[in-house]
Structure 1
Amino acid sequence: MSSNDLAISVSGVSKRYELYDTPRDRLKQFVVPRLASLAGSNAGPYFREFWALRDISFDVSKGEAVGIIGSNGSGKSTLLQIITGTLAPTMGEVRTQGRIAALLELGSGFNPDFTGRENVMLNGAVLGFSTDEILRRFDAIAAFADIGEHLDQPVRTYSSGMLVRLAFAVQVQLSPDILIVDEALAVGDALFQKRCYQQIERLLNDGVTLLFVSHDQETVRTLTNRSVLLNAGRMAAIGTSSEVVLEYRKLLHARESEYYTKIASDLKKTASARVPVVAEEMAESATSESTGESALEPAPEAQNRPVGRLEFGDGGATIISTEVRDANGAASSVFHPGETIRIRIQFKTTRPLNQLNVGVRIRNKEGIKIYSWGTLNQDMQILAGIRGGEAFWSRKFGTNELVTVELDFPCSLGSNLYEVQSTVTYEATPDYMGQRQLHWVDEAAFFQVLVKRDENFFGGIVDLGMRASF
């Protein structure tokens, strides 16, 4: 690919910060090394190094939509500031082609004492537009921001929602070649977010390049076609958004496992420090027979069990198969609205377990999550007295036990190809507030839905079962 086809080129970018324990150390670093150098000796340093980014390299083609994901502190915002030119890299370089519109920190680029109208003019001028060009676009900017009479009030009086409305309206209405968005849309209301995403899609259709940062995995998956995963300042993965989002989920799961393993270890140390009788009672209360701690800690075999590209988990339970069947239990891959779809999940335990949840997530071929549900959803109704029956969460399983769970639902989906993701989780409490993944499988099964045009035709992703009366 030639350099003319690239909108953004990031090459070997690293960013180092100097951390000082006291203001005195900062002063020493400024003065002492210079004096030592004049005397022909060395002194310092009086700081600790912190590398926010380490050797980041990737290219973004013109018209491409690329996501950047990662946990807090992974370096996402630092990278975007370097790309926009508001921060200089310690090493490496960034090249961009075209006018950049960036929505980074909330209210960045606004003078708090200027009115919204004055800030629109100021931002337009910074982006290289003449006064006449800004005035021609002003009505469109004001209409999109939709903040009414507040447009003529100082920006310091704005709420966070009003700030992001005006900032986004300015950036997208001034015809950028590259649009960079960093989490700012999260503070807007649902209706405004919908309008923003629609506007972003229109810009993409017009050939605008998008660099999008968000913690919303589904939005990244659907809005971008390629993504970069950052972890502790390093590039952990790059590829299609669906693949990178899965790697991100694995990373989050690994961190969560480390966190809960540490908690379990601390509990054991606390118990061992007490008198033997109390320690024995605590050890008994921490077994899978009562609280399910065997599911809290990663299973020993999880350290050695190979994890595939499309699966991960702590172990203790392994999904053997995920099958899609019809109402009669026969294997099927094609359904029509109104028919029953049955998803049969079979898993095997490798140790005693309880407090389990078996669930699925269904996505269409565009990567949009249509539905997620598990046995715990039904158990919550049972435990609340809304419906009768035995709660799956209350069942106890032994080692090497083969368990089959069937999830049935009436098909109300539109024509599409659907992916089934299956999962077995440990739930510390029956409310999804203490979940641990024992085994997750992406692309566990697929099925297709076709609509009979002559009998039950409808548009969209789901049949709402509308009826007309007149």
Structure 2
Amino acid sequence: MGEITVSGLGKAYRQYPSQWSRLAEWLSFDSRAKQHVEHWVLRDVDFRVGAGEAVGIVGNNGAGKSTLLKLITGTLKPTSGEVTTTGRISALLELGMGFHPDFTGRQNAIMGGQLQGLSVEEIAQVMPAIEAFAEIGAYMDQPIRTYSSGMQIRLAFSVATAMRPDILIVDEALSVGDSYFQHKSFERIREFQRAGTTLLIVSHDRYAIQTICDKAILLQEGRVKMQGNPVDILDYYNALMAEREHQTVQQKVLDDGRISTISGTGQARVETLRLVNSEGMPVEAVEVGDTVTLEVGVRIHAALDRLVLGFMIKDRFGQAIYGINTHRLKQAIENPPPGELIVYRFEFPARIGKGSYSVSLSLSREDSHISQNYEWRDNALIFHMYNAKQEDFVGYAWLGAQTSVQRDASAGVDGAPQ
């Protein structure tokens, strides 16, 4: 079983003002005569991934995610600290990394397998499976330089996962694949997870992280900012992505144990929020198919040229069920004056499955809160769906399917008339 232990890990690169400074330092007999400054990409990183655990790494560009994975796989040497791993590691770090453009896909697959420590016999044994999973047909025997980026990632992933490793490390490379192959790849990752493979995944796809991972780690400026429940970490990261001057990001624990993340400038704020039934009464439990209204009262605290309110319904795993905003509904409000209270009402049939759901709210200037975030609230409201009237369906969406069955008693078993 694979385990990963990272202790005090750091990586620094030397930066010289000129090439002559580098030469001067090399030729100097005084070890104190430094001509360089150290730029730390990672510093004091500590965490542990237990056997069979799945951990997601998140952070903005330049946070040190890819450097961390390269240190764990051994393609980079640390400046400080250490990484300890057990078991066989298979890694997919960069698109086509290690592929030779003039060699065929098959030749590169053989070399890739050998780099993973597979014998020639083992590679020959898994080659049919590599071809079948990659689904690139005759291109398997064509030079890599003739491949599209999607074909390269298909082959690279197929080689990296030809045999179930003890530890599988995957960088953002999967995001360039087509939708079909992304689904296929993540299903293989889930199969490995069920079989006991330890997973370390870097992805900007929050729903992939939330679905697959047991824990998430947020890297910020080369250090571990937070680690814990994926939904809580990703909510906080989402708020940080929108953070601007004079904004705040705070988290509080709700009565049911969930964490609510709130961020924004505060120029507009949610003052009241409730879910009401068709009779206008507040409800916390809703029957499948009933019509409900989400009422949101927003107070304007500063002069704004434009205001957009959006809401997102999520399941208990944090996956989006439905989201809409007043920009997309063409009902954005222009120039609301300070002090005004605006009450929004969104009426909809609750055609969603049994379970617990949350509502997240966004007050912004445009379609996305990333551009200008007045307020963002995760888990602003919790409600529950129950089913006492509809058929006992499975899934998140109740479609109310109508069924008709046609039978022909005059047809025989082979379809021929009697």
TM-score by length of 1: 0.80
Q: Does 1:139 align with 2:128?
A: yes
Partner of 1:357: 308
Please give the alpha-carbon distance, in whole angstroms, between the structure 1 residues aligned to 2:377 and 2:250.
Answer: 13
Please give the alpha-carbon distance, in whole angstroms, between the structure 2 residues aligned to 1:327 and 1:173.
Answer: 55
Partner of 1:212: 201
Task: Pick closer, same or farther for the CA change 1:63–1:194 going to 2, 3 Å.
Answer: same
Count of residue pairs brought into register by the alignment: 398
Question: Which protein is richer in helix relative to its size?
Answer: 1
Partner of 1:19: 15
Aligned mate of 2:160, from 158, 165, 171 = 171
Partner of 2:350: 411
Which amino acid is 2:136 matched to? I
Partner of 2:276: 325
Task: Pick closer, same or farther for the CA change 1:412–1:156 going to 2, 3 Å.
Answer: same
Please give the alpha-carbon distance, in whole angstroms, between the structure 2 residues aligned to 1:163 and 1:113.
Answer: 13
Q: Is the 8 A contact 1:324 1:342 kept in 2?
A: yes
Which amino acid is 2:10 matched to? S
> How far apart are residue 316 of structure 1 and its match?
1.2
User: Which segment drifts farther, 455-464 or 342-351?
Assistant: 455-464
Q: Does 1:369 align with 2:365?
A: no
Secondary structure of 1:102's aligned partner: strand
Q: Does 1:53 align with 2:4?
A: no
Q: Matches of residues 10-409 of structure 1 in structure 2 within 5 Å?
A: 10-31=6-27, 33-34=28-29, 36=30, 42-43=32-33, 45-254=34-243, 257-258=244-245, 298=246, 308=252, 310-379=261-330, 391-394=331-334, 396-409=335-348
Secondary structure of 1:173's aligned partner: coil
Please give the alpha-carbon distance, in whole angstroms, between the structure 1 residues aligned to 2:368 and 2:199.
Answer: 35
Gaps of 5+ in 1: 259-297, 380-390
Partner of 1:444: 380
> How far apart are residue 166 of structure 1 and its match?
0.6
Q: Is the 8 A contact 2:2 2:87 kept in 1?
A: no
> How far apart are residue 307 of structure 1 and its match?
6.7
Please give the alpha-carbon distance, in whole angstroms, between the structure 2 residues aligned to 1:306 and 1:63.
Answer: 32
> How far apart are residue 368 of structure 1 and its match?
1.1
> How far apart are residue 467 of structure 1 and its match?
3.6
Partner of 1:420: 359
TM-score by length of 2: 0.89
Please give the alpha-carbon distance, in whole angstroms, between the structure 1 residues aligned to 2:315 and 2:135.
Answer: 34
Dislocated runs of 4+, deviation >4 Å = 305-309, 431-434
Please give the alpha-carbon distance, in whole angstroms, between the structure 2 residues aligned to 1:317 and 1:436.
Answer: 11
What CA RMSD, in Å, does the superposition of the two structures yield over aligned residues?
2.1
Secondary structure of 1:113's aligned partner: coil
Question: Which protein is richer in strand relative to its size?
Answer: 2
Please give the alpha-carbon distance, in whole angstroms, between the structure 1 residues aligned to 2:106 and 2:362.
Answer: 52
Task: Pick closer, same or farther for the CA change 1:354–1:328 going to 2, 3 Å.
Answer: farther
Please give the alpha-carbon distance, in whole angstroms, between the structure 2 residues aligned to 1:435 and 1:175.
Answer: 42
User: Which segment drifts farther, 150-159 or 64-73?
Assistant: 150-159
Instruction: Output one character per residue of 1:148-181: Cα deviation in whole Å (capped at 9) or x when no partner.
Output: 0111112232211111101111112211111101
Q: Is the 8 A contact 1:324 1:446 kept in 2?
A: no
